[in-house]
């Protein structure tokens, strides 16, 4: 599945050389979206794209603003080499629709909330997707529509989220590599 992103000017940020920005979104920004942020950051670094693609995460609700990711998410991620400890929950802001090139919801409900809050500009609305849209057809998770919320379950739920997010991020990295390459090559 191919998505096209136009090159947009970024807010001035002397520390950033990113040409693209990706926002991972779930409900409270303490389980799924911080996991997806951590996994994508790691995979972008491995792919040599960390300096051209920024990743952040946010929630559609303000339940946990300022809180670190859920300890169970951190523990499961740490076992696989992902560090989520520096992340802090925040709520999606109006400017996120302008500043990010891609806003990836973890499920249908959060996608609907993004659509509800996104300005009616088609150029902004086309940025809204589900993370699972990037799972490769050859993946054991092909066909998954959502990243389920593990919050009320046990450890197996957090492991499943990681499995699904890793497969989705593999496909996303390949997509981003193509998009960044089409916007221009790295200096």
Enzyme catalytic residues = 26, 32, 149
SS3 label, residue 103: strand
Q: Which of 168, 89, 83 is nearest to 129 (CA)?
A: 168
Buried b (16+ CB within 10 A) or exposed e, 20-57: bbbbbbbbbbbbbbbbbbbbbbbbbeeeebbebbbbbb
Q: What is the DSSP letter of 143?
A: T
Phi, psi values for residue 152, rounded to 5°: -95, 10
Distance between CA atoms of residues 166 and 160, nearest Å? 10
Token pair for 44: 């972008």
């Amino acid at each position: 599945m191919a998505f096209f992103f136009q090159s947009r000017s970024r807010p001035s940020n002397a520390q950033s050389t990113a040409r693209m920005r990706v926002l991972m979104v779930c409900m409270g920004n303490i389980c799924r979206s911080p996991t997806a942020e951590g996994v994508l950051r790691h995979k972008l670094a491995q792919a040599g794209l960390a300096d051209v693609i920024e990743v952040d995460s946010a929630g559609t609700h303000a339940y946990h603003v300022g809180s670190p990711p859920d300890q169970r998410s951190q523990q499961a991620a740490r076992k696989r080499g992902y560090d989520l400890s520096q992340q802090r929950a925040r709520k999606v802001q109006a400017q996120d629709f302008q500043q990010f090139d891609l806003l990836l919801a973890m499920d249908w409900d959060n996608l609907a909330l993004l659509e509800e809050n996104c300005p009616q500009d088609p150029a902004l609305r086309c940025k809204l997707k589900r993370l699972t849209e990037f799972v490769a057809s050859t993946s054991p998770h092909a066909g998954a529509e959502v990243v389920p919320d593990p919050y009320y379950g046990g450890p197996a739920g957090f492991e499943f989220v990681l499995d699904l997010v890793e497969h989705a991020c593999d496909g996303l990295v390949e997509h981003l590599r193509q998009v960044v390459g089409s916007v221009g090559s790295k200096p």
